Amino acid sequence: MRRKRRNPRDRGMSRFTAGLIAVVLIGVAVFFAFTKNNPFSAPYKLTAVFETANNLKPNSPVRIAGVEVGKVKKVEALTGRQSGAARVEMEILKKGLPIHEDAELKIRPRVFLEGNFFVEVQPGSPSAPTVPDGGQPIPINQTSAPVQLGDILSALQSDTRSDLQVFLKEYSQGLSGKGARGFNQSLRYGASAFRNLSLANDATLGQEPTRDLQRLMKGQAKTFAALVRDEDALKGLVTNFNTFAGSLAREDVALEASIPA
């Protein structure tokens, strides 16, 4: 019985084809190993409400601790709220998870003052529940956006601009002559001064930070409210303090001698 001869074309794929397929598979494996991004899996969707979107656009980066973990997919203006409020939908990569319900989001400029923006995410405390994929939006009280230069200029009405001009004029006069030299000399004590200031700021938190600081703010609110109710007394306080400061300034030599070097 004669053995049937095989056609050379029926021997299967050539070595070249097999090698090419192997190279492609290795390339795909290396890509997934370095990017850790699976295009076949649905990305995690996170939504947040901002008071203003600050020209945030789709494809703007989303970062955690400076590391890009996602992209902005959609920015939608909200109706029925104050002007500028927006809902921002983002897609977060696996390396940016989990996001907790007490997370805070901030829109920050990529260029100083003006330019492109990105979303900075603070994922929240590990003890808080996690936000599910496509869950409820992060509320507006947990988001913030930078103040734009236009907002600052619009807030400077005629009276405010006049007061600012007076302040800058007086500040320049205060730094003229001995003022600038004294300011430069004071910088050598900056390290110890800021260290003591940090201790003082830490002490203002009290033994119960969630309650003591709140009580302090309420007490200050009562004090300021009382000052506002009596504008004449407030003007007198400022005038008398100005007179007192002027008296000290006139005795600068004696004051300098009374302070040990």
Summarised one tens digit per residue, pLDDT across range 167-195 is 888 887 777 777 777 778 778 888 888 88
The residue among 118, 147, 176 that closes a domain is 147
133 and 50 belong to one structural domain? yes
In-domain check, residue 12: no
pLDDT at 46: 96
Taking the model in full, what pTM does it have?
Answer: 0.47
Domain boundary at 147, 171, 190, which? 147
pLDDT for 143: 93
Domain enclosing residue 118, as ranges: 44-147
Amino acid identity of 52?
Answer: T
Q: Is residue 81 part of a domain?
A: yes
Tally of CA atoms within 13 A in the half-sphere of 143 that contains its CB: 19
The domain total for the chain is 2
Q: Is residue 20 situated within a structural domain?
A: no
Which of 147, 169, 190 is the C-terminal boundary of a domain? 147
DSSP label at 53?
-
Beta carbons of 140 and 51 less than 8 angstroms apart? yes
Same domain for 142 and 48: yes
- The b/e string for 54-77 (b: 16+ C-beta within 10 A; e otherwise) is bebeeebbbbbeeeebbbbbebee
- Say what the pLDDT of residue 176 is: 76
Residue 163 lies in a domain: no
Classify residue 96 as exposed, middle or buried by CB count within 10 Å of its CB (0-12, 13-18, 19+). buried
Answer yes or no: do 131 and 222 share one domain: no
- C-alpha 261/C-alpha 259 separation (Å) is 6
With respect to residue 182, please indicate whether it lies within any of the assigned structural domains: no
Query: Within this chain, do residues 143 and 215 fall inside the same structural domain, yes or no?
Result: no
The answer to whether residue 17 sits within a structural domain is no
35 part of a folded domain: no
Domain-located, residue 240: yes
Residues of the chain with pLDDT under 70: 1-13, 31-41, 80-83, 111-115, 148-158, 209-210, 259-261
pLDDT at 135: 92
According to the model, what pLDDT value does residue 169 have? 83
Asked whether residue 116 falls in the same domain as residue 48, the answer is: yes
Q: Is 60 in contact with 75 (CB distance < 8 Å)? A: no
Q: According to the model, what pLDDT value does residue 237 have? A: 81
